[in-house]
Amino acid sequence: MRVTAGADRGRKLRAPRGATTRPTGAKVREAIFNILGPPPPHPILDLFAGTGSLGIEALSRGAVAADFVERDARALGTLHRNLRELGFSGRARVIGASVLRALQRMAGAAEGRVFGWVFVDPPYASDEADPVLSLLAGSDLLAEGAVIIVEHGRRHLPAEVFGTLVMTDRRFYGDTGVSFYRPQRGLA
């Protein structure tokens, strides 16, 4: 697995052995970033980060900073190694916790950090995307014009609306689906 574009294009990303971590494939990653365009002026949030492939891709393409949330110890070790080997440790913050717990802490923090892109890539067979989207919709973690990108299986489609978040696009790449959400003012 390699970084597909940006300053670190072609650099290798490591992945832990076994089936517990499913990194986003290069074809899907490249498609996501082609749709998104240039990085926003705000940090990126990579939830269910695994190896960190989505956040690292954003950093390679010029994102100012990225926060990664992952709870699996082996994936965390690999994520730290990938960030260190690519020289991104200074622009990255890694949170070893469940995604919902991390988001609740971040939403309650006084630092006021907001994110321009939020990547949500839970295990496909789980329903973990729904509570994450609901929590994001009710939080102050999203910058003006933020985009939430949810990777999911073809058989586990997230809803089109979560509070103030509205799906604006959905694409399929084989069995992988990618849904894009944006906050809409006036919805609740």
| CATH number of the domain to which 82 belongs | 3.40.50.150
Q: What separation in angstroms does the CA of 147 have from each of 13, 25, 40?
A: 25, 20, 10
Which residue from 31, 88, 71, 63 is spatially nearest to 143, judged by alpha carbons?
63
Interval 130-151: pLDDT, tens: 999 999 998 999 999 999 999 9
Residues of the chain with pLDDT below 70 are 1-11, 13, 16-24, 110, 186-188
Query: Interior CA angle at 15 toward 28 and 27, to 5°?
Result: 15
- Tokens read off for 184: 């809409």
Q: Tokens in use for 86?
A: 């690519």
Give the Å distances, CA to CA, from 88 to 34, 47, 126.
Answer: 22, 17, 30
Number of domains in the chain: 1
Please report whether residue 3 resides in a domain: no
Domain of 61 in residue numbering reads as 26-183
- What pTM does this model have? 0.89
